[in-house]
């Protein structure tokens, strides 16, 4: 494998798929280090426009002519296949290549304090919240997060310190290329089964991720993950558990007591660390799931690390957590129309949807209306009944067609299949093939005092934005 040298900035680096949320951030990092950077993507976007404004050459095609002999390194995404014209030209010229995950892993190895946030749900929020803690403590971190974070005006922050904070995605085993000194594991549930096949395979991947930690590395992990000990066997690391409940009679090291919610649904609680009350924690985001996320952040910050032998000061941790007001597309307030409120959320797995809808119930409203766009045919088929069950928490559900993403349509699954199950069980649900139909229905259905959530990992966000515009 090509050995990345961030000091050797005399070479040009080209990114195939530069418009991706992670790839664009890596491209900015290389640019900041003094490298000449170019890239390609199939579509212009706000991300690619930003890269161009920084001086990066972006090609809106992927043709062999984009690859010139002066390029010294090519970075590509997992979505790029060997028949891609650029990929083929790189092979022909013998230019060194790294996939996105390997590149990130090598970048991470340059930092003494490298924190990777993993889990099937909550990674972006937790990475973002942890970033706010480091910023409050003036620790000048480099940050790579899978969403747009207002506090850093994007998805990547380039710091000058020895601190690196990153979101670690399990899909295609990407996180196995990383080199963390601290790892947070939020949860391990059946997800990305189009790649893993079974939950057992997914658990094995998470075990390998945990095994990447060096001796005396820190693992912060949710105490309610099933068969927890099997994930952390035979490893000389420090394990800190967090959670809201005892498991097998053992209380978590970090927990919350006396959780309350204000009129906006924001949580307050008393922090308990190994039985000792450490005072009040105030969140500026909604839901019990964010209480859990904040406990993971506190544990990873307060515990001794490779750089901070006494951890980060608790007052700075509290300040950072309170400063965090959310990430784009995570229960994001979009606006009001005709007296009803529109919120957008990225939830696309039954567990995430339940957390979002439970948080929504703590926000004052009359009816809860959800416009849901499933993500992936395989996920919709796998969790068909789970989707129908959890979406029944809403008063009205409006389905858009499935967002295909990386999959071909198998022809045997549709959003309407979820609608049918809900309707048979007496729940009010509707299905429309186009966004125009969804918008028209919502405009004529929503009433003053209602809370409308556009939900899904695809482009359903456009529905609410169009209604507001």
Which residue is listed with tokens 């300040």?
319
Dist CA 33 CA 79 (whole Å): 26
| H helices present in 94-198, as ranges | 100-108, 123-136, 193-196
Residue tagged active-site, from 123, 179, 202, 356:
123
Scanning 250-287, the segments in alpha helix (DSSP H) are none
> Is 356 one of the annotated binding-site residues?
no
Has 125 been labeled as part of a binding site?
A: yes
Instruction: Name the strands in the sheet holding 218-222, side by side, starting at the edge strand that comes first in the sequence.
Output: 154-157, 142-149, 163-167, 113-118, 182-185, 218-222, 238-242, 254-261, 266-273, 276-286
**How many beta carbons lie within 10 A of that of residue 35, not counting itself?**
18
Residue 128 has a CB neighbour count (10 Å cut-off) of 31
Q: How many CB atoms lie within 10 A of CB 289?
A: 23
Is 250 annotated as ligand-binding?
no
What does DSSP say about strands 368-372 and 451-455: parallel, antiparallel, or unpaired? parallel
- State the catalytic residue, choosing from 126, 127, 142, 167: 167
33 is catalytic: no
| Spatial distance between the Cα atoms of 272 and 253, rounded to a whole number of angstroms | 8
Nearest to 145 by CA among 168, 178, 163, 161: 168
Contact 450, 442 (CB under 8 A): no
Residue 179 annotated as part of some ligand binding site = no
Q: Is position 250 annotated as part of the catalytic site?
A: no
Q: DSSP label at 348?
A: -
DSSP 208-258: HHHHTSPTT-EEEEETTSTTHHHHSTT---EEEEE-SS-BTTB--SEEEEE
Exactly one of 48, 124, 126, 127 is catalytic; which is it? Answer: 124
CA 59 to chain centre: 27
Strands 163-167 and 113-118: parallel
Beta strand extents in 150-244 (DSSP E only): 154-157, 163-167, 182-185, 218-222, 238-242
The answer to whether the annotation marks 120 as part of a ligand binding site is: yes
Name which of 92, 61, 62, 86 is nearest 74 in CA terms. 86
**Contact call for residues 194 and 174 (beta carbons, < 8 A):** no
Instruction: Give the rounded distance of the alpha carbon of 74 from its chain centre.
Output: 25
- Of 243, 189, 183, which Cα lies nearest the Cα of 210? 183
Active site includes 316?
A: no
What is the rounded distance in angstroms from the CA atom of residue 331 to the CA atom of residue 23? 25
CA distance 329 to 121: 14
The residue written with tokens 């295909």 in the block is 404
* Residues that constitute the known binding site: 119-125
- Sequence ranges of the binding site for ATP: 119-125
Active site residues: 123-124, 167
């Amino acid at each position: 494998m090509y050995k990345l040298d961030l000091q050797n900035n005399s070479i040009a680096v080209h990114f195939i798929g530069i418009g991706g949320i992670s790839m664009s951030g890596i491209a900015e990092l290389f640019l900041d280090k003094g490298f000449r950077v170019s890239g390609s993507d199939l579509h212009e976007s706000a991300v690619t426009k930003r890269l161009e404004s920084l001086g990066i050459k972006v090609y809106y095609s992927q043709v062999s002519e984009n690859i010139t002999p002066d390029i010294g390194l090519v970075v590509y995404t997992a979505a790029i296949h060997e028949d891609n014209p650029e990929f083929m030209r790189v092979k022909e010229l013998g230019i060194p290549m790294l996939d996105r995950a390997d590149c990130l892993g090598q970048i991470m190895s340059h930092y003494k304090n490298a924190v990777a946030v993993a889990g099937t749900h909550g990674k972006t929020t937790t990475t973002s919240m942890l970033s706010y803690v480091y910023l409050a403590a003036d620790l000048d971190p480099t940050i790579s997060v899978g969403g747009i974070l207002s506090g850093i005006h994007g998805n990547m922050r380039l710091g000058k310190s020895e601190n690196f904070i990153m979101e670690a995605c399990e899909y295609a085993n990407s996180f196995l290329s990383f080199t963390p000194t601290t790892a947070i594991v939020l949860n391990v549930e059946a997800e990305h089964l189009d790649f893993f096949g079974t939950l057992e395979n997914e658990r094995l991947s998470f075990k390998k991720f945990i095994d990447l930690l060096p001796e005396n590395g820190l693992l912060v992990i949710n105490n309610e993950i099933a068969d927890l000990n099997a994930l952390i066997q035979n490893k000389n690391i420090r394990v800190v558990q967090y959670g809201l409940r005892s498991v097998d009679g053992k209380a978590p090291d970090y927990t919350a007591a006396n959780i309350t919610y204000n009129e906006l649904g924001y949580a307050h609680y008393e922090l308990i660390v190994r039985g000792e009350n450490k005072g009040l924690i105030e969140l500026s985001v909604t839901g019990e799931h964010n209480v859990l996320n904040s406990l993971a952040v506190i544990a990873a910050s307060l515990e001794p690390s490779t750089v901070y032998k006494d951890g980060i000061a608790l007052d700075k941790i509290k300040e950072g957590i309170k400063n965090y007001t959310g990430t784009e597309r995570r229960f994001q307030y979009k606006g009001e129309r005709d007296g009803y409120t529109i919120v957008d959320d990225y939830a696309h797995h039954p567990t995430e949807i339940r957390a979002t809808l439970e948080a929504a119930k703590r926000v004052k409203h009359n009816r809860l209306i959800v416009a849901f766009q499933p993500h992936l045919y395989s996920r919709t088929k796998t969790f068909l009944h789970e989707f129908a069950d959890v979406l029944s928490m809403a008063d009205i559900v409006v389905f858009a067609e499935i967002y295909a993403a990386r999959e071909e349509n198998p022809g045997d699954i549709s959003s309407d299949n979820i609608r049918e199950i809900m309707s048979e069980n007496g729940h009010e649900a509707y299905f429309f093939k186009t966004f125009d139909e969804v918008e028209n229905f919502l405009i004529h259905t929503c009433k003053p005092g209602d809370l409308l959530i556009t939900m899904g990992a695809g482009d359903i966000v456009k529905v609410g934005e169009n209604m507001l515009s």
